[in-house]
Amino acid sequence: MAAALLWQAGCGARRGADRDVLTIGAFSVVREAFHEGIVPEFQAYWKAKTGRELEIRESYNSSGAMVRAIDAGLPADVVVLSHSEDMDALARSQRVRLDWDRSAKGGVVAGSIVVIGVRPGNPRHLKDWGDLARPKVGVLYPDPKTSGGAAWNINAIFGSALLARGTQSAGERELDEARRLVSLVQSNVINMDVSSRQSMANFLDRGLGDAIVTYENEIVLSQKAGHAIEYVVPRSTLRIENPAALVEDMVRKHGNREIAEAFIAFVQSDRGQGILEDFGFRPISGTSHKLPATSAKLFSMHDLGGWRRVKAQLNGYRLKALALAELRGARFR
Amino acid sequence: MTRKPRLGPSALAFGIRYGSLTYLGLVLVFPLLGLVFDTLRTGPAAFFEALFSPAAQSSLTLSFAAALIMVGVNAVMGTATAWVLVRYRLPAKSLLNALIDLPFAVPTLVTGIMLVILFGPSGAVGKALAGRGMEVIYHKPGIVLALLYVTYPFVVRSVQPVLLELDRAEEEAAATLGAGPATTFFRVTLPALWPAILSGSALAFSRALGEYGAVVMVAGNHPGETQTAPLFIMGAIESGEVAQAKAVSTFLLACSLGALLLFKWFERKTEAQDER
């Protein structure tokens, strides 16, 4: 009892006049960029602006696991997730506002594109999504059931095939052809790993596969760590948009709405986007000055009609790999 | 025959009895009941619909087939191992004996990684096998291999004590009466070992049905092909399809419980035989 009182008193003192506290729950992909870049810079920014020390507590997990943790009451004030579908799940359980995507910049804080990572010199000459459907090309991407990243990857392959045929007029035949491309690529996936990071480890450390489909920023991060990996941007690919929102009951309870809002605005600002660019992300508006320019046609989930529509068109990502016989000689045109 | 000294109705005995029963209830039974009631609450229609979805069905079929193949191999090899450990003179026998339990001590994820390093597409053995058109890791054989490893000790540890206690006089009598070693083994020794082999196999089977750690590293996780039931459950949980996860979990639970009840039955039979 006495100990509990002391503990509470301790917490009270830490949250007292001289120190602010903000807790962030984010999906794993932004870990390095946040921990090494955004967090210390925002602390400095907050100190300069208000003269107050800011303690930032960080928690990282896969996007789906973060949704479940916050649903179960993880005390995060700001939540950063892989995609809007996950954020909508938190909105349905009233952890974040239902109109979270109507805040500034649609609630998006980080951007990237889906690319194809290849071995140095691109020995298999993989240039576009269709090349990943060629026989005997070993592909890696994680299971879309357990990884938010894989959902982006599959949407990119599916969407580019669909847009090449014009979305407005996409009927069952166009959908079937786009689904067929995804199935063909999926048949070439060696192992449907649990997470993007595990796929990356298999590609780099175990020399598995010829190609890895992942976020551009994940490959830039690996290159910075000294790994021998290159990437190609397909002719048309998906723009990744990672959203953030306030966890309403937590900012109310902790009384730090102002700090949480300032944090999201900071990440979205030119300064915040510049920090993210150093870690391989693309600015959410405008073009990148630090990443190679691309002539690829970029499309967004909005162009495809939204997450729910694509998920339904792809049968909830439960696409069965094609039978081997069907795969032999099959080419995607 | 001496009577067991009876513990009086002391506070200690009372505490031990109800304390341990409460512990059993809290740690084991409550979570089980929680899952079962939670699954049943959604109603039988939703339960069966989730259970009979194509992806769930194929994952269950794969899990059962892989576990059955594993049981077949490990029942034979486990019995043979126990036989060698008990009947043969071996150098470093105690070290060998300790080695048997290693699969219990090694974290199952590490088991998976070991198998990938050796049998994976870029592993020493894996490369040689791939050259002959045999793919192990990320294909079905890899799943069986992982199960063989993690369940190896069960049959050995169940047969070994029975073999140690076995009265050699019967085998000697058979030999004296002119039976060859094979006849002696199949007509005299094996019948005494059956209950132990089966109970060890039942334990191994129920363990194999739910194995996640080792399998997730080596299975390809392609739905309808190389996705086992525990992998299916994980995918369903992660993508918010809780009903599917619960239905398959409850079904696996029922099957494991069934295998274990079978195990208890054979164990009792073994005990009855020991007393004879």
- Please report, in tens digits, the pLDDT of each residue of chain A (333 residues total): 344 444 443 444 344 557 899 999 999 899 999 999 999 999 999 999 999 999 999 999 888 889 989 998 999 999 999 999 999 999 999 999 999 999 889 999 999 999 999 999 999 999 999 999 999 999 999 988 888 788 999 999 999 999 887 666 678 888 888 999 999 999 899 999 888 888 999 999 888 999 999 999 999 999 999 999 999 999 999 999 999 999 999 999 999 999 999 999 999 999 999 999 999 999 998 788 888 888 899 999 999 999 999 988 887 777 654 444 344 444 443
b/e per residue A249-263 (b: at least 16 CB within 10 A):
ebbeebebeebbbbb
For A316, nearest residue in chain B (alpha carbons): B239
Percentage of chain B beyond pLDDT 90 is 50
Mark yes or no for CB contact B239/A64 under 8 Å. Answer: yes
Interface A–B counts its CB contacts (< 8 A) at: 59
The nearest CA of chain B is from the CA of A146 a distance in Å of 5
The nearest CA of chain B is from the CA of A274 a distance in Å of 32
Average pLDDT, chain B: 89
Pick from A6-15, A151-160, B30-39, B96-105: least confident: A6-15
Tell me if residue B233 falls in helix, strand or coil. helix
Q: What whole-number distance in Å separates Cα of residue B207 and Cα of residue A128?
A: 44
pLDDT of residue A327: 43
pLDDT of residue A332: 40
User: Which residues in chain A are closer than 8 Å to B248, comparing Cβ atoms?
Assistant: none
For A204, nearest residue in chain B (alpha carbons): B122
Interface residues on A facing B, Cβ-Cβ cutoff 8 A: 62, 64-65, 89, 138, 143-147, 186, 189-194, 206-208, 316-321
pLDDT of residue B41: 83
pLDDT of residue A268: 97
Amino acid at A54: L
Residue from A27, A81, A143 whose CB has the most chain B CBs within 10 Å, to mutate: A143
Q: Cβ distance B105 to B239 under 8 Å?
A: no
Average pLDDT over residues B103-122: 92
Question: How many angstroms separate the Cα of A180 from the Cα of each of A77, A277, A309, A320, A323?
Answer: 42, 35, 17, 10, 12
pLDDT of residue A255: 94
Q: Cβ distance A96 to A90 under 8 Å?
A: yes
Residue from B119, B135, B221, B242 whose CB has the most chain A CBs within 10 Å, to mutate: B221
Mark yes or no for CB contact A146/B235 under 8 Å. Answer: yes
Question: How many angstroms separate the Cα of A101 from the Cα of each of A106, A242, A310?
Answer: 4, 11, 19
User: Which residues in chain B are closer than 8 Å to A144, comparing Cβ atoms?
Assistant: 239
User: Which residues in chain A are closer than 8 Å to B224, comparing Cβ atoms?
Assistant: 320-321
The nearest CA of chain A is from the CA of B239 a distance in Å of 5
**B221 in contact with A at a CB cutoff of 8 Å?**
yes
Which H or E run contains A259?
helix A257-268
The nearest CA of chain B is from the CA of A69 a distance in Å of 12
**B120 in contact with A at a CB cutoff of 8 Å?**
yes
Local confidence band at B44 (pLDDT 50, 70, 90 cut-offs):
confident
Number of H helices, E strands in chain A: 14, 9
Greater confidence, B150 or A316? Answer: B150
Q: What whole-number distance in Å separates Cα of residue B140 and Cα of residue B143?
A: 5
Average pLDDT over residues B75-97: 92
Q: What whole-number distance in Å separates Cα of residue B266 and Cα of residue B200?
A: 9
**B234 in contact with A at a CB cutoff of 8 Å?**
yes
The nearest CA of chain A is from the CA of B42 a distance in Å of 19
Contacts of B68 (CB under 8 A, 6+ apart): B205
Strands (E), chain B: none
Question: How many angstroms separate the Cα of B178 from the Cα of each of A49, B86, B170, B191, B200?
Answer: 99, 24, 13, 19, 32
For A64, nearest residue in chain B (alpha carbons): B238
**B243 in contact with A at a CB cutoff of 8 Å?**
no
pLDDT of residue B170: 86
Pick from A264-268, A315-319, B30-34, B163-167: least confident: A315-319
pLDDT of residue B55: 87
Alpha carbon A228 to its chain centroid, in Å, reads 23
pLDDT of residue A147: 83
Average pLDDT over residues B127-149: 92
pLDDT of residue A165: 75
Mark yes or no for CB contact B223/A144 under 8 Å. Answer: no
Q: What whole-number distance in Å separates Cα of residue A258 and Cα of residue A172?
A: 49
- DSSP conformation letters of B95-155: HHHHHHTHHHHS-HHHHHHHHHHHHSTTSHHHHHHHHTT---TTSHHHHHHHHHHHHHHHH
Tell me if residue B23 falls in helix, strand or coil. helix
Greater confidence, A17 or B242? Answer: B242
Mark yes or no for CB contact B238/A65 under 8 Å. Answer: yes
pLDDT of residue A275: 96
Which of A62, A64, A320 is opposite residue B224, by nearest beta carbon? A320
